[in-house]
């Protein structure tokens, strides 16, 4: 028994030492990152929090770019410069991501819409704007447009999540989904991991392919991944995915709002007991889902399928991102000249 107690004591000492080292490493790394990678855009105050936006270009239209659950302005490092040759383009860092201060107590699509409305007010982003969303950002865009129809001139939805997939692991009712806690186990675990440098360590092994050829964007991505708040914030968005799914299902019509749906040709890998044929069937169903979103508007288009693209490469890698940019340009070229800004 003495030997067991001694082993447990030493194991406890090792664990405590590792946690202390991780916490120190995280604090030092955060300080270095703040000095090495200052915000490339503007910082605006929203509800007492410092929120970062990167706005570039000029033109008659304003485009707002919204990333997926774990993304921020850096994820648009290919598309934003190209689009900004023609229009005013603003990409945002939601609270806790990128250069934005952490905070907030709700992370579903309706809360994200409320956050964006206040961010747009603080940054004086002209309305109506073209809302370009990727992945979960495209789900947020649908709910925002339904709640704030006068704010949105058009929607560009790049591979939004299918509510059926978002609800796959949730077996409760709509009422139970709406009652989910805003910070569940993923959020709690993420917050703990972030403070002990878990994501900082993992960040050294990520992003090399997506940001190939752009050392600054890769370094900014890894610094953003390393933030203490990053993984907990992502966990919070994932914890309330069922709530976001139901909010998307509640959107029945977009009226005559112009909508462009963008999809990718590459399917995902089989999961669990799925076969390759199962994934092909899933992809066909997913394309029908995207066509269904377009059909909610009398001016819906797509889905346009980007060849040789995956869910992430469609915005991050050179050739797929260039094809996405051309699709957006062609879509916006077909719209009438924008009306004078509302505010």
DSSP string, 81-148: HHHTTTSEEEEE--TTSTTSPP--S--SHHHHHHHHHHHHHHHT--SSEEEEEETHHHHHHHHHHHH-
Model confidence at 57: pLDDT above 90? yes
Residue extents of the structural domains in the chain? 37-180+240-333
| Percent of the chain whose predicted confidence (pLDDT) is above 70 | 97
For residues 243-262, one letter each, b for 16 or more C-beta atoms within 10 angstroms of the residue's C-beta and e for the rest, the string is bbbbbbeebeebeebbbbbb
What mean pLDDT comes out for the span 225-251? 95
β-pair partners for 341: none
Cβ neighbours, 10 Å, residue 210: 18
Output 7 or 243, whichever has higher pLDDT.
243
Compute CA distances 138 → 13, 93, 218, whole Å: 47, 15, 24
Q: Which two tokens stand for residue 117?
A: 């409305």
**pTM as predicted:** 0.94
- Strand, helix or coil for residue 284: helix
Q: How confident is the model at residue 276 (pLDDT cuts 50, 70, 90)?
A: confident
Q: What is the pLDDT of residues 143-202, one digit of tens each?
A: 999 999 999 999 999 999 999 999 999 999 999 999 999 888 899 999 999 988 889 999
**What is 37-180+240-333's CATH superfamily?**
Alpha/Beta hydrolase fold, catalytic domain (3.40.50.1820)
- Do 226 and 198 form a contact (C-beta atoms < 8 A)? no
């Amino acid at each position: 028994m003495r030997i067991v107690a001694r082993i447990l004591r030493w194991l406890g000492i090792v664990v405590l030492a590792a946690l202390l080292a991780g916490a120190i490493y995280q604090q030092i790394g955060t300080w270095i990152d703040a000095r090495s990678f200052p915000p490339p855009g503007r910082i605006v105050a929203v509800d007492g929090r410092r929120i970062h936006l990167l706005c570039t270009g000029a033109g008659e239209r304003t485009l707002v770019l919204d990333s997926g659950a774990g993304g921020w302005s850096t994820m648009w490092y290919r598309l934003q410069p190209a689009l900004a040759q023609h229009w005013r383009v603003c990409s945002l860092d939601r609270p806790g991501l990128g250069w934005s201060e952490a905070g907030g107590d709700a992370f579903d699509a309706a809360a994200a819409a409320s956050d964006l409305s206040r961010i747009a007010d603080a940054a004086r982003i002209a309305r109506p704007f073209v809302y370009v969303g990727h992945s979960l950002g495209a789900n947020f865009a649908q709910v925002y447009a339904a709640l704030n129809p006068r704010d949105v001139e058009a929607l560009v939805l790049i591979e939004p999540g299918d509510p059926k997939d978002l609800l796959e692991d949730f077996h409760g009712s709509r009422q139970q989904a709406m009652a989910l806690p805003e910070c569940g186990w993923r959020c709690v675990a993420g917050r703990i991991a972030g403070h002990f440098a878990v994501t900082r360590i993992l960040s050294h092994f990520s992003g090399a392919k997506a940001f190939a050829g752009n050392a600054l964007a890769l370094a900014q991505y890894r610094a953003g991944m390393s933030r203490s708040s990053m993984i907990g914030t992502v966990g919070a968005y994932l914890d309330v995915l069922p709530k976001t799914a139901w909010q998307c299902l509640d959107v029945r019509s977009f009226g005559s709002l112009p909508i462009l749906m963008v999809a990718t040709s590459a399917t995902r890998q089989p999961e669990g007991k799925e076969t390759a044929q199962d994934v092909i069937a899933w992809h066909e169903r997913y394309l029908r889902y995207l066509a269904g979103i377009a059909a909610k508007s009398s001016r819906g288009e797509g889905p346009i399928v980007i060849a040789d693209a995956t869910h992430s490469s469609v915005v991050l890698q050179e050739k797929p991102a260039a094809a996405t940019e051309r699709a957006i340009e062609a879509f916006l070229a077909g719209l009438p000249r924008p009306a004078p800004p509302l505010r």
